[in-house]
Structure 1
């Protein structure tokens, strides 16, 4: 006798309470294996694939692509048991026939069962499975019916890039009404941009209905604070509420640092990974934090204690199309400059593709913010709560500078340190910043801590 089990959106950890459905990976009638990813969702931390803890036949899906679901809401139902296997056409339809579920419902956890080939179930087998009552903890509350799919083309939309989906949402475009020009009808960014231009040139009834004249409350464009942008907004607001911060800054001559970097990369030879300025500054930060551990700490407000942390988990700000994220280089204090650079490169690529895991975005103890890449000289950054400090780095540009008693053109950078005034006073913060500036001006000082 088949049994239909309801799989709900699991607790994704790190205090996340909701997620947006980006792409369904299975359809109703597909056979799924235990711990096979069934849906791709976007949380406030990252884009992740959610594995289903049951093996069997998908009998229902809840939520359209682009919709947002709270943790605990139904995602799909799966029919498990021998009738499902026979409906699939053979014993190989499900690799987990003896164990209908892994019991693992957190992203990143699973039994590691190999994925099986997706196959369609015969209609009679699916109907028989769907007729069985759902066995769920929340059986007393009937699961909502799947939302109707708008447009003439029901089912998953042929879109791979979440950037394309975001662009369509911003312009209220129904992707199901677009014909993709990519392979197998894949909808590309050019297709969405073409539809946006067409809508602007010849607005139809839908555009008129959504115009400010028809909607008095629409005074301007409204952008929802959710996902990554919403999480950043909440964290920054909390930092401003809870942390009494102060900022100090200094200009430094980075000419010798740039020359040292050029020498490192030249000596590495062709094909070797280049050492970035950010990696060098990260290594400087770890050396400075070893001298001034007060800044590698957090404040336990309830216990009214400052907690000085033994490891340096260095975060660095990375701007992506999904918003600002802060990936974390674990144990940066135990890494070489080359190792730090390689990890920064890996995390930066993951940030751009939206594949950072929650673990790679949390647990930082100090943040390095290189806003100089945006062409600005200085800033007063907001501390990444619950950390105690952040070092900001402006652009490195040629400026007049007094060098060895003579006026010369040197490569100058502005460094700023925003710190929690509860963990230290200005003398400690100034000492940290001055040491960083000294290492920038004389990279040989770092040899003392190698």
Structure 2
């Protein structure tokens, strides 16, 4: 038997360090060739690390959240034959302490399980984890368990490394248990707490947001828009072409309005290198589409929006957003945007203050569409209204230019035929 050492690979583009996000194996596991053993993260994308060999895991080279140098030892595997490594006294594998990795937070959770589902049956004994042994589970699972009054330490996890899945909660709820597995409810006092490691994508988000707020002179501008005519056009196009070309959301119309308006405001479709003190105004409009994924916020890029048709841009938005949500977006799909569009859909609220996605200098935010009475030509009528909440880098964009840009976008959306007049 020999030892095969997998080293942290060179992911390219001059990256010297990556963060170890999650292990999918543990010491003692028997793995197969091409099995994914770990996720690592660059400054933008999560990368899966597969094993080139089959064998038994001897040691893991780091803990989730640890920043590792390219070329450092990632994992040791016992293999048939001589392997690729000879142990020396200076190169003994060191097995790290067991780690309970925490996933980054996500914005959405599945439907809540009824709290009383497990309380109306005869009790059955359950064995909790040892004291101090923290169960592995995603924030969505933790939220669901909290709402259901279930302590996760009593739930058996069937996922990798004992991770508790939604299916495990379903199984737990469907079986009778003693009250020991129930968390206090109602007005009962609580003293429990939970620590969540800030690692992986959540750490990158935190770093980027902190850097953006520290370096950018943010200011926001909110304007309301009458989208009655736009919504009527969208529904008409979907009714006529939806089956053959695909359904349109509001996003491709917003992208089109931004593209047209930016022709007169090139200083807004720009990036700012504040270290070199250089502003780059871009002819191409590469729109970042802020996307909430299971692991946090990502910004895949709709490239050359200025050259795309309404349906072409709609299709590409859906493709890159789905890739980001499923952690399949490539580094190229997550870099190079020149302006960002962010929307919380039905959760958009009345107004927001989005954070500029540096090194860009502008981000356009979409709020919720609502029907409400407004005065038109002296008459009170019901119209579909929506706010745009946009933020700008005041070091580069003057307040007047930002306001004029948003007013141009407003005019195009309120008279949607103008979107397509050249």
- Shorter-chain TM-score bucket reads 0.7 to 0.9
Aligned to 2:8: 9
Q: TM-score, normalised by structure 2?
A: 0.73
Q: Say whether residues 1:314 and 2:311 are aligned partners.
A: no
Looking at structure 2, the residues matched to 291 and 399 of structure 1 have their Cα atoms a distance apart, in angstroms, of: 32
Answer whether contact 1:397 1:412 (CA < 8 A) is retained: yes
Looking at structure 2, the residues matched to 179 and 249 of structure 1 have their Cα atoms a distance apart, in angstroms, of: 47
The secondary structure found in structure 1 opposite 2:263 is: helix
The secondary structure found in structure 1 opposite 2:210 is: helix
Looking at structure 2, the residues matched to 356 and 172 of structure 1 have their Cα atoms a distance apart, in angstroms, of: 35
Q: Say whether residues 1:143 and 2:93 are aligned partners.
A: yes
Looking at structure 2, the residues matched to 298 and 421 of structure 1 have their Cα atoms a distance apart, in angstroms, of: 13
Q: Say whether residues 1:50 and 2:49 are aligned partners.
A: yes
Unaligned runs of 5+ in 2: 101-126, 128-136, 183-188
Deviation at 1:241, TM superposition (A): 0.9
Deviation at 1:405, TM superposition (A): 4.6
The secondary structure found in structure 2 opposite 1:270 is: helix
Distance 1:169 1:306, change over 3 A: farther
Moved more, 239-248 or 191-200: 191-200
Looking at structure 1, the residues matched to 223 and 86 of structure 2 have their Cα atoms a distance apart, in angstroms, of: 68
Aligned to 2:316: 343
Unaligned runs of 5+ in 1: 85-128, 152-160, 205-210
Output aligned runs, 1:185-224, within 5 Å.
188-192=165-169, 201-202=179-180, 220-224=193-197
Output aligned runs, 1:423-442, within 5 Å.
423-442=396-415
Distance 1:165 1:404, change over 3 A: closer
Distance 1:146 1:234, change over 3 A: closer
Looking at structure 2, the residues matched to 359 and 444 of structure 1 have their Cα atoms a distance apart, in angstroms, of: 34
Aligned to 2:86: 133
Q: Deviations over 1:12-42 (max 9, x none)?
A: 568663122242499855553xxx3532416
Looking at structure 2, the residues matched to 149 and 249 of structure 1 have their Cα atoms a distance apart, in angstroms, of: 46
Distance 1:322 1:334, change over 3 A: same
The secondary structure found in structure 1 opposite 2:267 is: helix
Answer whether contact 2:293 2:325 (CA < 8 A) is retained: yes
Deviation at 1:395, TM superposition (A): 1.1
Answer whether contact 1:366 1:389 (CA < 8 A) is retained: yes
Aligned residue among 156, 179, 183 for 1:178 = 156
Looking at structure 2, the residues matched to 57 and 67 of structure 1 have their Cα atoms a distance apart, in angstroms, of: 22
Aligned to 1:227: 200
Aligned to 2:339: 366
Looking at structure 2, the residues matched to 426 and 264 of structure 1 have their Cα atoms a distance apart, in angstroms, of: 36
Looking at structure 2, the residues matched to 131 and 302 of structure 1 have their Cα atoms a distance apart, in angstroms, of: 44
Answer whether contact 1:39 1:51 (CA < 8 A) is retained: yes
Deviation at 1:444, TM superposition (A): 1.1
Looking at structure 1, the residues matched to 248 and 214 of structure 2 have their Cα atoms a distance apart, in angstroms, of: 38
Q: Note the aligned Cα RMSD (angstroms).
A: 4.2
Answer whether contact 1:395 1:413 (CA < 8 A) is retained: yes
Answer whether contact 1:286 1:333 (CA < 8 A) is retained: yes
Deviation at 1:394, TM superposition (A): 1.1
Q: Say whether residues 1:285 and 2:258 are aligned partners.
A: yes
